[in-house]
Amino acid sequence: MAKFDDTVTFHRSQDSGPHRAIVFLHGGAWIDATNTPHDFDKLAEHLVRLNQSEPEFSLYAVEYRLSPEVKHPAHLLDVIDNLAQLIRKEQVDELNLFGHSVGATLVWQLLTCSPALSSDLETIRSKVNRCYLADGIFSLVDMLKEYPTYDYFVSQAFTKVKDYDDPEDLTLQISSNIKLHILHSYEDELLSLRQSNYLCKVLQAHQQPYQTYYDVLGKHNDVYESLKVAEYIMYTMMY
């Protein structure tokens, strides 16, 4: 299991009020060891600088094990375990999650998976205020129709594609109090708008509130370093 020791702290708030935190989850198609919590070094720097070095929230990133060493749902269980430890050890009162690519997929799964998966889910979900889903994968079936060659990483992460629950198959368990933000770069060369638009249609069908931010944010792996993304997070954290 991924260890809490792998959690990275970019900034710890000194604010005397409730402890608010933004937690980043990296991507990498469940298999790429070059994607780590430190993907967010630059984004964290932007957020600290935009707040004149004193954000009223802490900044962290959590890790999870990769495939083919493990398969679904091990990645998600690692995220749940490390988030639960972070909440307890840092006494986090408000949790805001930012996931990029498969990190966005994991955030979505965290919000919608069965509570029976982990006894920590209720505690984590009770703390979540905002979720930022950036250039994510939300339907394996639909993605493989568009990009059949992507089976090379899906087959390493999942025993069967049907082990992943597509959003339209789910009874949504997301509290309407959670603010969902779907982000996508027009310049993403690895994922078209199809995945983000797919999720938007599902949310509309379930009358689930959400906001979108589609912009020129660079290529797929530029998004998690984007100043525009940091500015969007800052603006939306105020409301």
Q: List the catalytic residues.
A: 101, 188, 220
Phi and psi for 169 in degrees, rounded to 5?
Answer: -90, -5
- The answer to whether 82 and 7 are in contact (CB under 8 A) is yes
Q: Read out DSSP for 55-75? A: -SSEEEEE----TTTS-TTHH
Q: CA triplet 60, 65, 66: central angle to 5 degrees? A: 120
Collapsing DSSP to helix, strand or coil, 200 comes out as helix
What is the rounded CA–CA span in Å between residue 197 and residue 176? Answer: 20
Long-range contacts: 118-124, Cβ < 8 Å, 24+?
118/77, 118/80, 118/81, 118/84, 120/80, 120/81, 120/83, 120/84, 121/80, 123/84, 123/87, 124/80, 124/83, 124/84, 124/87, 124/95
Partnered with residue 132 across adjacent β-strands are: 98, 181
Q: What CA–CA distances, in Å, run from 76 to 18, 32, 105? A: 27, 16, 9
